[in-house]
Chains A and B, each alone.
Chain A
Amino acid sequence: MLGKLDWSVIPFGQPIPLIAGAVVLVGILAVLIWVIVKGHLPYLWHEWITSVDHKRIGVMYILLASVMLLRGGSDAIMMRIQQAIAYQSQGYLPPEHYNQIFSAHGTIMIFFVAMPFVIGLMNLVVPLQLGVRDVAFPTLNSVGFWLTATGALLVNLSLVIGEFARTGWLAFPPLSELSYSPGVGVDYYAWSLQISGVGTLVAGINLVTTVLKLRTKGMNYLRMPMFCWTTLASNLLIVAAFPILTATLAMLLLDRYLGFHFFTNEAGGNVMMFMNLIWAWGHPEVYILVLPAFGIFSEVVSTFSGKALFGYRSMVLATMAICIISFMVWLHHFFTMGAGPDVNAIFGIASMIIAVPTGVKIYNWLFTMYGGRIRFATPMLWAVGFMVTFIIGGLTGVLVAVPPADFMLHNSMFLVAHFHNVIIGGVLFGAFAGFEYWFPKAFGFRLDERWGKLAFWFTFSGFYVTFLPLYVAGMLGMTRRMQHYDVAEWRPWMIVAAIGMAVLSIGVICQIMQLVVSIRNREALRDRTGDPWDGRSLEWATSSPPPVFNFAFHPDVRGEDAYWDIKIHAQQQSLEHTAPEYHDIEMPRNSPTGFVCAFFATIMGFALIWHIWWMVILGGIGAFATFVVFAWRDHDEYVIPADEVARIDRINLEERRSLVSMAGAI
């Protein structure tokens, strides 16, 4: 009746996951009770959970990513403490728990922090930058988000019900096969990635279509802001690469559930085929994450230098080159598998070549700053911190792209240091820059600069103190994922790294403080103009937060840096005072489809993990029925009358006119 599920799967003997689980559960219950008692539930349901507004969905993506960042971060703290004290001793984490922690850390940080954070920012900003009212498929957008949330929920469920994978974040066979991992850990891993993978794929399709098909008047491809270009490239990669992940995990699941032999050692299976396929997805994935970050830095650097982006066209070219070459380098993750010099050399050279367009981008940002009037606001600090950090990570990357060097460094702490250097220094710094930069747009008030700068400096220095020692430990021969070790030379570096982790944690606390302080002072920090940073692209042309329809009129774009042009013209003509003629606007209706779909997907995923077959069928039918009901809908749009549009838009116009007249008076 309940498959493999019984009371023994709850780890009563292990205090750490149990207490953590209990704390989280109490927290969730407290929030839920508070929401219900205060009567916020209808608001939450109508305005957020069922919302198909790209801005709201973007905010929810980022919220999910932030919560998961705390979860993945606590895993990281536990690992750093373990390695600092586990010299010639067992430390405080038993091996099977430690193995789950590093697996969960990687899985969560990539799939449920980095991915939702960048997808959230793209969702929030891209339609605004393109000057349109929504993404191409608004309800699909909501489905994508909720399926991602399902994946995150399943991963976290494994904390208290059963166990998580002990196989590392990519679950390499044969370890992840049934004979070596008979528990439900790998199933939790695989099913949550399968479900959230569907969510990511639909988000990718949605954003590609949005950029290709929905642009405002005059927004040619070569007038799009850089962030739109990197969004296009990144989502093309999602559409091309995520099916590979789905197929690979499907084969692993067939091995585990139905006795197939794709990746087993016996009966003609080939373990290396899994490495090959998973990295054919895995390497493009790296660029899926970092390309949007490059886009964010392009926007930030250009805005805070007060200059148009240097070498816009070369930047576009570099982005699209990375998009293609990222599919030609995946073997560098397994140089050591035994292929000969010809294969290794080709992929090694391709890996070095991909550093070239990235270098082009770095120079473009530097030249954008050169001669500019630079304002070191928090987003700009993150951008400059990124440039410094990412160059170091890029150089160590080129180093491990050399096969003989890779043979020495493969699977070592050097590699761990390298990819944290590029992912934290690239993606996370980018996500934080975007968060600080677009927060006023999303919520209508700026974030506190003092706490923001503190957060930056603690995170920045904490990052170096944590990860530079890992390079050294790797050079000293320390391999990754060690639960304990007996080599005295490694110990001091592990202790330094743990101290760095403490500094990094202060950075995270500052970030939380920044949010708290800013919300408290929101009246003082209110952004009335919609353009708090003196921005250059169209998202700043509307109010903060933007009305549900984004723009009362579709902006007419006449060149790059669309909003900058509008501002120049407005100052010259001192804003024409003609009353514009407003029209009705049709917007997509909110729909619970995404939430209900994900609800059934959660049931189905959970049942699949625990082999509860009747529940699998129930969940499957439910999800399909939801889709059918949505497909049969009669009304999917509602009309905002012209008067209402006019009322909302006039408030914004007044604010802006007063701003321009003030600027004129000076």
Chain B
Amino acid sequence: MSDQTHARTEHDLAPGEEEQHSVGERIVGYVVGLGLALLLTATSFFIAGTDLVWQPSIPVALIVLAIAQMGVHLVFFLHITTGPDNTNNVLALAFGLLVVFLVVGGTVWIMAHLNQNMPPMDQFIRMHS
């Protein structure tokens, strides 16, 4: 129905719309992505159970690996690139990340300060006994 879409799609792909690549190229991309994802997963399990690294660094390492994992998924499977054809997708991702950051971060912060205006519990019990 919409011939106006065709005029715009040259530089603005919707999610799921692929640029023209040969099948071989695309398979290579997916295989590389799968390899990286598996590597990162295996590393995470290895790090979690090993005593080869400094123990307090493990949670940080896991977070770094998880973020790298997200990056791999975004680049190889969801095809987020920095090209001009991807502006909408990148902006949508940025907006989503911002909202998740605000809501999750805000929630953690709010819930941690939930009882700040309450007197300490032991004091409270002493007052009423």
State whether A276 and B111 are in contact (beta carbons under 8 Å apart), knowing that A214-B5, A585-B1 are contacts in the complex: yes
Is B113 a contact partner of A339 (Cβ separation < 8 A)? yes
Is A217 a contact partner of B7 (Cβ separation < 8 A)? yes
**Bound-complex Cα distance A17 to B114 (A):** 41
In the complex, which residues 636-653 of chain A have their Cβ closer than 8 Å to any Cβ of chain B?
A: 637
Is A240 a contact partner of B4 (Cβ separation < 8 A)? no
Residue A338 contacts which of B14, B103, B107, B114 (CB distance < 8 angstroms)?
Answer: B114
Is A134 a contact partner of B111 (Cβ separation < 8 A)? no
A residues near B3, Cβ cutoff 8 Å: 554
Is A339 a contact partner of B103 (Cβ separation < 8 A)? no
> Nearest Cβ in chain A — how far from B97, in angstroms?
11
Q: Does A626 contact B (CB under 8 A)?
A: no
Residue B113 contacts which of A132, A270, A342 (CB distance < 8 angstroms)?
Answer: A342
State whether A340 and B113 are in contact (beta carbons under 8 Å apart), knowing that A280-B106, A327-B99, A328-B102 are contacts in the complex: yes
Chain A window 216-245, contacts with chain B (Cβ cutoff 8 Å), 1 for yes, 0 for no: 110000000000000000001000100010
A residues near B103, Cβ cutoff 8 Å: 244, 280, 327
A residues near B22, Cβ cutoff 8 Å: none
B residues near A327, Cβ cutoff 8 Å: 98-99, 102-103
**Contact count band on B:** 20 to 34
Most chain B CB inside 10 Å of its own CB: which residue of A240, A554, A585: A240
Q: Does A587 contact B (CB under 8 A)?
A: yes
A132 and chain B: residue at smallest CB distance = B4
Chain A window 579-593, contacts with chain B (Cβ cutoff 8 Å), 1 for yes, 0 for no: 000000111100000
B1 and chain A: residue at smallest CB distance = A586
**Bound-complex Cα distance A337 to B109 (A):** 14
Total of A-B residue pairs, C-beta within 8 Å: 76
Is B1 a contact partner of A331 (Cβ separation < 8 A)? no
In the complex, which residues 310-333 of chain A have their Cβ closer than 8 Å to any Cβ of chain B?
A: 324, 327-328, 330-331
A residues near B7, Cβ cutoff 8 Å: 217
> Nearest Cβ in chain B — how far from A312, in angstroms?
21
Is B116 a contact partner of A276 (Cβ separation < 8 A)? no
Is A215 a contact partner of B8 (Cβ separation < 8 A)? yes
A637 and chain B: residue at smallest CB distance = B1
Q: Does A212 contact B (CB under 8 A)?
A: yes
Q: Does A166 contact B (CB under 8 A)?
A: no
> Nearest Cβ in chain B — how far from A581, in angstroms?
14
Is A213 a contact partner of B1 (Cβ separation < 8 A)? no
Q: Does A343 contact B (CB under 8 A)?
A: yes
A residues near B85, Cβ cutoff 8 Å: none
Residue B14 contacts which of A213, A272, A343, A637 (CB distance < 8 angstroms)?
Answer: A213
Residue A133 contacts which of B2, B99, B113 (CB distance < 8 angstroms)?
Answer: B2
State whether A340 and B117 are in contact (beta carbons under 8 Å apart), knowing that A217-B4, A276-B111, A324-B98 are contacts in the complex: yes
> Nearest Cβ in chain A — how far from B84, in angstroms?
15
Q: Does A25 contact B (CB under 8 A)?
A: no
Residue B5 contacts which of A213, A273, A338, A342 (CB distance < 8 angstroms)?
Answer: A213
**Bound-complex Cα distance A337 to B117 (A):** 9
Chain A window 120-144, contacts with chain B (Cβ cutoff 8 Å), 1 for yes, 0 for no: 0000000000011110000000000
Q: Does A519 contact B (CB under 8 A)?
A: no
Q: Does B27 contact A (CB under 8 A)?
A: no
Q: Considering only CB atoms and an 8 Å cut-off, how many residues of chain A contact the other chain?
A: 37
B88 and chain A: residue at smallest CB distance = A212
Chain B window 16-60, contacts with chain A (Cβ cutoff 8 Å), 1 for yes, 0 for no: 000000000000000000000000000000000000000000000
> Nearest Cβ in chain A — how far from B29, in angstroms?
25
State whether A134 and B1 are in contact (beta carbons under 8 Å apart), knowing that A330-B106, A339-B116, A339-B117 are contacts in the complex: yes
Q: Does A277 contact B (CB under 8 A)?
A: yes
> Nearest Cβ in chain A — how far from B113, in angstroms?
4
> Nearest Cβ in chain A — how far from B4, in angstroms?
5
Most chain B CB inside 10 Å of its own CB: which residue of A213, A215, A554, A586: A213
Is A339 a contact partner of B8 (Cβ separation < 8 A)? no
Is B114 a contact partner of A337 (Cβ separation < 8 A)? yes
Chain B window 70-100, contacts with chain A (Cβ cutoff 8 Å), 1 for yes, 0 for no: 0000000000000000001000000110110
**Bound-complex Cα distance A244 to B100 (A):** 10
**Bound-complex Cα distance A339 to B1 (A):** 54
**Bound-complex Cα distance A132 to B5 (A):** 10
**Bound-complex Cα distance A104 to B119 (A):** 38
Is B88 a contact partner of A338 (Cβ separation < 8 A)? no
Is B12 a contact partner of A213 (Cβ separation < 8 A)? yes
Is B107 a contact partner of A280 (Cβ separation < 8 A)? yes
Q: Does B121 contact A (CB under 8 A)?
A: no
Q: Does B115 contact A (CB under 8 A)?
A: yes
Q: Does B125 contact A (CB under 8 A)?
A: no
State whether A276 and B1 are in contact (beta carbons under 8 Å apart), knowing that A213-B8, A217-B7, A338-B117 are contacts in the complex: no
> Nearest Cβ in chain B — how far from A214, in angstroms?
6
B residues near A585, Cβ cutoff 8 Å: 1
B residues near A586, Cβ cutoff 8 Å: 1
State whether A328 and B98 are in contact (beta carbons under 8 Å apart), knowing that A214-B4, A340-B116 are contacts in the complex: no
Q: Does B110 contact A (CB under 8 A)?
A: yes
A residues near B107, Cβ cutoff 8 Å: 273, 276-277, 280
**Bound-complex Cα distance A567 to B42 (A):** 66
Is A343 a contact partner of B1 (Cβ separation < 8 A)? no
A339 and chain B: residue at smallest CB distance = B113
**Bound-complex Cα distance A329 to B116 (A):** 19
Q: Does B118 contact A (CB under 8 A)?
A: yes
B residues near A330, Cβ cutoff 8 Å: 106
B residues near A339, Cβ cutoff 8 Å: 110, 113-114, 116-117
A residues near B14, Cβ cutoff 8 Å: 209, 213
A343 and chain B: residue at smallest CB distance = B113
**Bound-complex Cα distance A331 to B107 (A):** 9
In the complex, which residues 275-309 of chain A have their Cβ closer than 8 Å to any Cβ of chain B?
A: 276-277, 280
**Bound-complex Cα distance A588 to B115 (A):** 56
**Bound-complex Cα distance A309 to B7 (A):** 29
In the complex, which residues 7-33 of chain A have their Cβ closer than 8 Å to any Cβ of chain B?
A: none
B residues near A273, Cβ cutoff 8 Å: 107, 111
In the assembled complex, 25 residue pairs joining A and B whose CB atoms fall closer than 8 Å, in A order, are A132-B4, A133-B1, A213-B5, A213-B88, A215-B4, A217-B7, A240-B99, A270-B111, A272-B111, A272-B114, A276-B111, A277-B107, A280-B106, A280-B107, A327-B103, A328-B106, A331-B106, A331-B110, A337-B114, A338-B116, A338-B117, A339-B113, A339-B114, A340-B113, A585-B1
Give the top 8 A-B pairs by smallest Cβ distance, nearest first. Answer: A340-B116, A338-B117, A339-B113, A240-B99, A586-B1, A343-B113, A327-B102, A280-B103
